[in-house]
């Protein structure tokens, strides 16, 4: 693994782009870059959140992992910070984050990060911006899950992978049926059933984990109506 040079990093967050060369040197000294393979745990629930995690590249799932009630909250795609609310709102991580693809993550020193907030208003503002947008996403996500029924939520998830993650109408699901069901708040059986149903209606084409959106408009309608 090569030396980390934050100054020359091409994946800087909006906040980090406001930092001066000197500040970036400071960031670098407390920064550890780590790579993760699919299935590896990036952030472990209930561990002390002493570092800010910045997902530089890759795809990961954010999930609440209690023995009895595992639940995938959302899928996150680089570049993004993960777990900022835990960093600031609590001493321990409120959830786990697990890699779905190869991920490259920078763990930043929390104290240095706080220092930037105190000393660089532009940096602080950009963090507030990112947190605000994330919260609104969660808000709508939560709303959707509580108001739609299973078919609509699975349609939602498929559209999410299409629009937010892969940005093209044909892709390979990065998760199993079990996890897809969990993400949509249902069981693997129902997730599977809904996918075949949408397939049979010609709205999507499913082959294993490969998905192709055939009738986006209709899928959108299903997502919205129920």
Which residues of the chain form contacts with DNA (CB under 7 A)?
Answer: 149-151, 176-178, 185-190, 192-193, 195-196, 206, 208-209
C-alpha–C-alpha distance, residues 59 and 154, integer Å: 19
C-alpha–C-alpha distance, residues 49 and 135, integer Å: 19
Please, which residue, 28 or 130, has the CB nearer to a second copy? 130
Least distance (Å) between residue 180 CB and a second copy: 15
Please, which residue, 37 or 137, has the CB nearer to DNA? 37
Please, which residue, 70 or 201, has the CB nearer to a second copy? 70
From a second copy, DNA, none, which one binds at residue 117 (CB under 5 to 8 Å depending on kind)? a second copy
Please, which residue, 115 or 177, has the CB nearer to DNA? 177
From DNA, a second copy, none, which one binds at residue 132 (CB under 5 to 8 Å depending on kind)? a second copy
C-alpha–C-alpha distance, residues 147 and 163, integer Å: 21
Least distance (Å) between residue 103 CB and DNA: 17
Count of residues making up the chain: 226
From DNA, a second copy, none, which one binds at residue 176 (CB under 5 to 8 Å depending on kind)? DNA
Please, which residue, 122 or 189, has the CB nearer to DNA? 189
Least distance (Å) between residue 201 CB and DNA: 13
Q: Which residues pair with 81 in a beta bridge?
A: 54
Q: Which residues pair with 170 in a beta bridge?
A: 212
C-alpha–C-alpha distance, residues 59 and 63, integer Å: 13
Please, which residue, 106 or 204, has the CB nearer to DNA? 204
Strand ranges in the chain using DSSP code E only, listed in sequence order: 31-36, 41-43, 51-57, 59-65, 70-77, 80-82, 96-99, 103-109, 170-172, 204-207, 210-213
Residues of this chain that interact with a second copy (CB under 8 A) are 64, 69, 71, 73, 84-90, 94-95, 114, 117-122, 124-125, 127-129, 131-136, 138-143, 145-147, 185
Q: How many distinct helices (H) and strands (E) make up the chain?
A: 8, 11
**What ranges in 90-149 are assigned the alpha helix state H?**
110-119, 121-147
From a second copy, DNA, none, which one binds at residue 125 (CB under 5 to 8 Å depending on kind)? a second copy
Query: H or E element: which one contains 24?
Result: helix 21-29
From a second copy, DNA, none, which one binds at residue 67 (CB under 5 to 8 Å depending on kind)? none
């Amino acid at each position: 693994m090569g030396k980390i040079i934050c100054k020359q990093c091409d994946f800087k967050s909006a906040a980090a782009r406001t930092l001066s060369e000197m500040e970036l040197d400071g960031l670098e000294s407390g920064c550890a870059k780590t790579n993760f393979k699919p299935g590896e745990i990036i952030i472990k629930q209930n561990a002390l959140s002493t570092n800010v995690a910045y997902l530089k590249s890759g795809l990961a799932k954010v999930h609440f992992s209690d023995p009895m009630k595992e639940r995938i909250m959302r899928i996150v795609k680089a570049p993004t910070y993960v777990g900022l609310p835990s960093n600031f709102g609590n001493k321990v991580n409120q959830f786990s984050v697990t890699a779905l693809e190869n991920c490259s993550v920078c763990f930043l020193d929390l104290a240095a990060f706080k220092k930037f907030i105190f000393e660089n208003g532009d940096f602080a503002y950009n963090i507030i911006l990112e947190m605000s947008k994330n919260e609104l996403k969660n808000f709508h996500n939560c709303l959707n899950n509580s108001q739609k029924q299973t078919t609509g939520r699975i349609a939602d998830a498929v559209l999410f992978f299409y629009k937010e993650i892969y940005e093209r109408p044909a892709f390979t699901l990065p998760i199993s049926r079990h996890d897809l069901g969990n993400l949509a708040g249902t069981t693997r059986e129902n997730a599977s059933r809904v996918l075949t149903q949408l397939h049979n209606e010609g709205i999507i084409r499913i082959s294993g984990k490969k998905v192709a959106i055939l009738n986006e408009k209709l899928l959108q309608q299903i997502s919205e109506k129920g």
